[in-house]
Amino acid sequence: MNRTRNGLLFLALFAIIAVGLRAQDAASTAAAGKAAVKDVDPLAMRVLKAVADPVQQAQSFSFKALVSEEDLASNGQLITTFHAVEVTVQRPDKIHVVFRGSGQRVDYYGAPGGAYLYAPDPKLYVSLPGRESIDAALDALKAKDIDVPIGPFLRSNFYALAEKLVNTAYVIGRVKIGDQDVHQLAFTSDDADWQLWVVGGDAPRFVRAEIINKNIEGTPRTTIQFLDWNLNPTLSADDITFNKPADASQIEFIAISGGN
């Protein structure tokens, strides 16, 4: 298989994972140019901080998530796609994410020395520039209009960013997801409306998130169901380091946008 065909195959694989390219069309609203009215319930922010702090302070952590995303098709219909991720983080600069969608598995490894996208079944990989921190890697992806739904929850300053950006914050109340008692919170900002469902107590955790992106046509919704949080995992080098198989082939990553 030549280099061009390898590249097309990898792009086909990469298209089904969460890190999808999206056109960031700025939404024009009647409120443009006006300062948003702030209405922030301090209790909502205290609950958010109580859940965010343990993740931010953990030197390493892992979790799984089921993610659904809506995308606007060319006919104006919102189409929902699903994928699962497994995340392993070692702060401040190492991360391994396993993506499983409708196609083949793709792994992302990030570290200061380099980042890699690897498809284990066809044994194809792409080399990307490394970043000095996970936060910097997320910033670089955002600058390329690459959407990472779980990205905010990986940041070392998640709460500080939320506190800065929110226009409104409310405690909706205690509800059930299945047989689990959770607290429901609702927030708005200039770019997104988002809800969180969290558990408190001795082990506060994010359980579910829903985000509506107001900057993308059709205001698509992303839903994240978090599973299996571990804020003190035992990690080996293999858990967070890309060890290139001898028979793996390197290909080039070509950013494409558009389609149906």
- 171-221 confidence digits (pLDDT tens): 999 999 999 999 999 999 999 999 999 999 999 999 999 999 998 888 899
Distance of alpha carbon 197 from alpha carbon 207, whole angstroms: 5
pTM of the model: 0.83
- 238-259 confidence digits (pLDDT tens): 899 999 999 999 998 666 555 4
For the chain, the straight-line distance linking the first and the last C-alpha, in angstroms and rounded, comes to 27
DSSP state of 154: G
Architecture of the domain delimited by 3-14+38-250: Clam (2.50)
Q: Is 143's pLDDT higher than 60?
A: yes
The confidence score (pLDDT) of residue 142 equals 80
- What is the CA angle 19-88-59, rounded to 5? 125
